[in-house]
Amino acid sequence: MNIKTEQTNDAKAIVTVEVDEERVQGAMRLAAQHVSRARPLAGFRPGKAPYEIVERTFGKDYLREHAIDDLAQEIYKQILRDEKIPAYAAGQLEIAQPEPLILRYTIPTRPVVMLGDYRAIHLQPQPIAVTEDEVTKTIDQIRREHATLAPVERAVQSGDVLTVNLKGGFQDKDPVDSQGLVVTVDKESSTFPWVDQLIGAMLNETRNVAYTYPADDLPDLAGKTASYAVTITEHKEQQLPPLDDDLAKLVGKFETLAQLMTQLRADLREQKKNEEENRFADQVIDAIIAQSQIVFPEIMLNDQIDQEISREQRFATQLGMAWDKYLEMTGKSGAKLREEMKPRAENKIKRLLTVLELVKAENIEVTREEVLAEIDRQVAYAVANGAKEPQARKQLNNAATRRDLELNLKMRLAVDRVTARAKGEP
């Protein structure tokens, strides 16, 4: 048997195998036994009919086909072992030549990461500052969270909450027909970019709205116009609580508004500190990726895109829309959405592979005590969010979950170490 292995630049091994005819003939005789056992011939016990009679009955090509199927599996296992191919997933078989038999296997191989001189990377985080405008926006958001909704009989204003029926879409797509959508008239936060066009409308009014996507938007949306007939079936306004000590008491364990504002400033600073730490860590990892060589198989990318699509489908469900209608509303086909998801999926894979390689390069280890402490932390978080302590601990304290926790801890420590080094910390 002659084996030729070629490693490609896109994480594939292409293995060409020329199989000796003698081995094929032996496999055909075994195939004849299997066939005659499954389909016994008259006058013979199952699997005991002479080869010549089985061949005459079922045909040489039929037996050769069965033999090749069996041989292909057997040879595949052999080449993985003998050629030491680091397979990431099952390979694909091609019969390059039926006789003499030549098999060609295309096998996705495990990712390979070659880090650059990441220890030489030096960057500085951005300074942290909390502005009064940010404090005001935060307290306004708190007031909105504690607002009550009350029906009103007036024209729609910014900030109102509407229930609408929606019909329409893009001219070259089937129309959307959604009932009972709840929208807040706030263009900055709304999913629907045309929502501000409802300002001035009245209850039970049907208003025609249109939105043309900017030229610099996604290619499949840029310059396209979506038109809808929007009927307002419910109209409510948000009634905000006064900005006083009662609001502070409503929010939490505060006696005065001043105490609440002091805590808000501290919370905002901590939040911005965490955000900057995360942003800086991303910047450092991006810099490491930029100087590294990372190769991974296409199937890994497709799996990640599938996960991204699943997240988008869950978002559509939260909006109360069927998936096909969601695609129509956004003006995207399933294939186009997959293409859009590709850069994001590639980035996630590169980041994961890079951090995993950093764990090895930095010889990151965690102790049993650190893993147990992480379990305690996650149990406490789960309990604080309504879970029962025994169930949460049982779910976290099994072998598979502990392995995942240990790996996540190692990855976190690796990122902490390289970001600290990039800042010049010891």
Structural domain that includes position 175 = 148-239
In which element (H, E) is residue 232 found? strand 225-239
Final residue before a domain boundary, out of 110, 133, 166: 110
Q: Which two tokens stand for residue 122?
A: 């030096």
What is the distance between the alpha carbons of residues 200 and 71, in angstroms, rounded to a whole number?
75
Backbone angles phi, psi at 331, to 5 degrees: 70, 30
- Residue 190 and residue 183 in contact, taking contact as beta carbons nearer than 8 Å: yes
Whether 318 is covered by a domain: the verdict is no
Residue 38 and residue 119 in one domain: no
Whether 305 is covered by a domain: the verdict is no
Residue 64 and residue 126 in one domain: no
Final residue before a domain boundary, out of 207, 239, 271: 239
Whether 335 is covered by a domain: the verdict is no
In this prediction, residue 220 carries a pLDDT of 62
Whether 327 is covered by a domain: the verdict is no
Residue 43 and residue 83 in one domain: yes
Whether 7 is covered by a domain: the verdict is yes
In this prediction, residue 244 carries a pLDDT of 93
Residue 156 and residue 281 in one domain: no
In this prediction, residue 278 carries a pLDDT of 96
pLDDT in tens, 340-362: 899 999 999 999 999 999 999 99
Q: Which two tokens stand for residue 279?
A: 């942003």
Residue 262 and residue 218 in one domain: no
- Residue 106 and residue 62 in contact, taking contact as beta carbons nearer than 8 Å: no
The CATH number of whichever domain residue 52 belongs to comes to 3.30.70.1050
pLDDT in tens, 248-272: 998 888 999 999 999 999 999 999 9
Residue 32 and residue 47 in one domain: yes
Residue 270 and residue 121 in one domain: yes
In this prediction, residue 113 carries a pLDDT of 96
Place of tokens 């003998």: 82
Residue 95 and residue 83 in one domain: yes
What is the distance between the alpha carbons of residues 177 and 12, in angstroms, rounded to a whole number?
46
Q: Which residues of the chain have a pLDDT value below 50?
A: none
Final residue before a domain boundary, out of 110, 127, 161: 110
Whether 231 is covered by a domain: the verdict is yes
Whether 245 is covered by a domain: the verdict is no
In this prediction, residue 26 carries a pLDDT of 93
Give whole-number Cα distances, 243 to 139, 143, 159, 269, 351, in Å. Answer: 9, 8, 18, 22, 44
Residue 211 and residue 201 in one domain: yes
Whether 249 is covered by a domain: the verdict is no
In this prediction, residue 263 carries a pLDDT of 94
Residue 87 and residue 165 in one domain: no
Number of folded domains in the chain?
4
∠ CA 269-271-273, nearest 5°, is 70
The tally of CA atoms less than 13 A away on the side-chain side of residue 391 is: 5
Residue 139 and residue 283 in one domain: yes
DSSP string, 158-169: TT-EEEEEEEEE
What is the distance between the alpha carbons of residues 98 and 384, in angstroms, rounded to a whole number?
65
Q: CB 5: neighbour CB atoms within 10 A? A: 16
Residue 77 and residue 122 in one domain: no
Give whole-number Cα distances, 171 to 16, 211, 224, 330, in Å. Answer: 51, 12, 9, 12
Contact partners, residue 12, CB within 8 Å, separation at least 6: 106, 107, 108, 109, 297
